[in-house]
Amino acid sequence: MRYFEDMKVGQHRDLGSFTFTAELIKAFASQFDPQPFHLDEEEGRKSLFGGLAASGWHVGSVWMKLMVADGQREAADAAARGEKLAMWGPSPGFRDLRWLKPVLAGDTVSYASDVYSLRLSRSRPEWGVMQVRNTGTNQRGELVFSFLASVFVPRRDPQD
């Protein structure tokens, strides 16, 4: 499971959802993004966002949280079957991150991950390079967050 050879373009994975409460929005913002519209309901209402809005970095960090939890669930399932999960390599970065709509207090964002492209690594024959489009969609079905990540994925048999 999760070797390069197991992945297919278009594969979809739901990562779960997260409700951005006012309390969590303010806790993140007071540490990392203390702008008025992230800290105070009234300032949020007066802003372009129209309400207390989560920091974009909060929306991204929650994606990471759900991605890790999903990987840990997958690893536990594999262990229960007596299998070992292939460990993906680090991400060298990502492209075209968009915050498409504000995430306001009370919004629930569902995150998902879709395989966008697959290729062999030129420099490291034991790895493939996968691009994954990650998205967040709110409870009204509106896309609020999107980016394209690159990940190194091990090949099952690099000699093939």
Q: Which amino acid is at 23?
A: E
Minimum gap (Å) between residue 8 Cβ and a copy of itself = 25
* Interaction between residue 96 and a copy of itself (CB under 8 A): yes
Distance CA(145)–CA(97), nearest Å, equals 8
Backbone φ, ψ for residue 65 (5° rounding): -55, -45
User: How many residues comprise the chain?
Assistant: 160
Minimum gap (Å) between residue 89 Cβ and a copy of itself = 7
* Residues 6/153, Cβ–Cβ less than 8 Å: no
Gap between the terminal Cα atoms of the chain: 17
In the block, residue with structure tokens 């697959």: 118
Segment 32-71, which members bind a copy of itself (CB under 8 A)?
32-35, 48-49, 55-57, 60-62, 64-65, 68
Quick one: DSSP state of residue 53? Answer: B
* Residues 86/1, Cβ–Cβ less than 8 Å: yes
Minimum gap (Å) between residue 44 Cβ and a copy of itself = 13
* Interaction between residue 19 and a copy of itself (CB under 8 A): no
* Interaction between residue 135 and a copy of itself (CB under 8 A): no
Q: Which of 95, 108, 120, 143 binds a copy of itself (CB under 8 A)?
A: 95
Q: Tell me whether residue 5 or residue 33 sits nearer to a copy of itself (CB atom).
A: 33
> Which stretches of the chain bind a copy of itself, using CB under 8 A?
31-35, 48-49, 55-57, 60-62, 64-65, 68, 89-99
